[in-house]
Amino acid sequence: MSDKNVTVNQKCEIGKIFFDLGVCEMNGGIEKALRPTLEFLKNNPKLCIEIGVHRDSRGSNKSSQCLTCKRAQSIRSYLIENGIDEFRLKSLGYGESMPKTIAKIDSISGNTTAIVLTEKYINQFKKSDRPEFERLHQLNRRVELKIISTNFVSIKNEVNLIHKIDGDFNTFSIDNFGNIYTTSKDVIVKYNSKLDTLFYTSLKSFIPSSIESSKSFRNLLFDSEKGSVKFLDNTLTEVYSEFDLIDQDILQPVLVCESFNGNAFWVLDEAGMQLVKLNQNLEVIMRIDNLGYLFENKETPIQMFEKNDQLYIHFPNKGIAIFDAFGTFLKYLQINSDWIDVQNNYLFALRNNQIEILEFPFLDKISAIDFNSNEISSFANQKEKFYVQTKTALYIYSVEEITDNK
């Protein structure tokens, strides 16, 4: 690939990239073949590229796509380890989904025809011309680089601590006005954005394991030990008396969250392997059964929330199950993380005491934030502020994005 007149979407195929059969790890031959690419990227620091790995059509398409994803990630990791900014690199495994197109010249007329190397086309040579059959398959097994940006600037995130609330909190929540709700055992305190105490109350025998203040007119509290929910208004006054979920045949509720499709809320029942939606009168309006596939590894999820008209259920060592607002399963994202949040097209994932910012749908890492706090247990992101909970305090940071044109 030349560094002159480079344009977005320009592609270049890297030759002599041969992974061992069924293996995604790099070998010495691949590293040697990548050296010109490495030098090219070092000499052109404003270019961002996509690393696309392709396979031939033989074997399982599902397994081949998984393998090509891992191989693309392996190449990306090699480039990062050798000094290329991780935010300049995007890796994609295409499996057999994008066969190569070649130009075929008619020996008599001289006309050129574009040939797509589909499995059907290649198979016509399987018996009549075995060397050509193998050559065409080999053409499909390729690594391509594509320019996706020519104006990269490195991104840093400047964080400034603006407030701190000391305490060993069970959980916390932020409402749409920036008010903060903390729970410590059975005590709930509401602060405004300046940390003035507005209201507090004791729930006595009810100890919230979660609180959600996303609806301006109420707070949804859940006591996982008792399997009960309670609603408080914005003055922390009880709206309904405590409601035992077992009365609605919910045997082992593990998570509860608000639903914005009507004045309702979701309950995840681990024992019954079901999602249940209840209305404001605490009546069941929907049951989604047969969710055993979510719990097949016997890991209890730690988060459930609805955003962007989708329901997210977070398993820290497995990934994120995503449903639509009506309870239809959409997809599963395989990612290990200790806590997550979603804002618009971005997933915020807590890993190694650092919050990574990943872009949907491929979860490309575009940035990361290091708060230099003690061990982070949970966090929330709202209106350019991050609320970070540790064992001893709730920290509130402003986050400013800075571009560095060096």
pLDDT in the model for residue 330: 94
Which one is predicted more confidently, 229 or 24?
229
For residues 118 and 202, membership in a common domain is answered with: no
pLDDT at residue 61, as a whole number: 61
Q: Do the domain assignments include residue 1? A: no
Same domain (yes/no): 143, 179? no
Q: Which residue range forms the structural domain that includes residue 227? A: 156-404
Q: Cα(180)–Cα(388) distance, rounded to whole angstroms? A: 12
Classify residue 167: in a domain, yes or no.
yes
What's the pLDDT tens digit per position in 383-404? Answer: 889 999 999 999 999 987 544 4
Q: Is residue 106 part of a domain?
A: yes
Residue 127 lies in a domain: yes
Residue 57: inside a domain:
yes
Long-range contacts formed by 218-224: CB under 8 A, 24+ apart: 219/173, 219/181, 220/256, 220/257, 220/258, 220/265, 221/183, 221/188, 222/253, 222/255, 222/256, 224/253, 224/254, 224/255
* 41-72 tens-digit pLDDT: 999 988 999 999 988 888 766 555 678 888 89
* The residue to which tokens 């609805």 are assigned: 306
- Domain C-terminal end among 107, 129, 152: 152
pLDDT digits (tens, 9 = 90+) for 85-135: 888 898 888 888 889 888 888 778 778 889 989 999 999 999 999 999 988
Q: How many CB atoms lie within 10 A of CB 319?
A: 16
For the segment 24-36, what is each residue's pLDDT rounded down to a tens digit? Answer: 777 778 888 899 9
Same domain? For 249 and 389 the reply is yes
User: Residue written as tokens 């404003």?
Assistant: 46
Q: Please indicate, yes or no, whether residues 264 and 360 belong to a single structural domain of this protein.
A: yes
Tell me the Ramachandran region of residue 287: left when phi exceeds 0, alpha when psi lies from -120 to 50, beta otherwise: beta
Domain stop point among 127, 152, 177: 152
pLDDT of residue 402: 45
Give domain status of residue 49, yes or no: yes
Tell me, yes or no, whether 250 and 140 share the same domain. Answer: no
Residues 296 and 373 in one domain: yes
Query: Residue 3 domain-assigned?
Result: no
Domains: count for the chain: 2
In a shared domain, residues 234 and 249: yes
Which CATH number do you get for residue 98?
A: 3.30.1330.60
Q: In terms of domains, do 327 and 359 share one? A: yes
Sheet of 364-369, strand order = 339-343, 346-351, 354-359, 364-369
Query: Which CATH number do you get for residue 230?
Result: 2.120.10.30
Same domain assignment for residues 201 and 336: yes
Question: Is there a single domain that holds both residue 293 and residue 324?
Answer: yes
As a whole number of angstroms, the distance between CA 266 and CA 61 comes to 36
Is there a single domain that holds both residue 49 and residue 109? yes
Last residue of a domain, one of 152, 168, 185: 152
Residue 4 placed within a domain? no
Q: How many separate helices (H) and strands (E) can be counted in the chain?
A: 4, 30
Q: Are residues 226 and 358 in the same domain?
A: yes
Banded model confidence at residue 154, pLDDT cuts 50, 70, 90:
low
Q: Residues 361, 364, 366, 368: is their CA dihedral positive or negative? A: positive
In degrees, to the nearest 5, what angle opens at C-alpha 349 toward C-alphas 344 and 354?
Answer: 130
Which pLDDT does position 405 carry in this prediction? 38
DSSP 128-184: T-HHHHHHHHHHHS-EEEEEEES---EEEEEEEEEEEEES--SEEEE-TTS-EEEEE
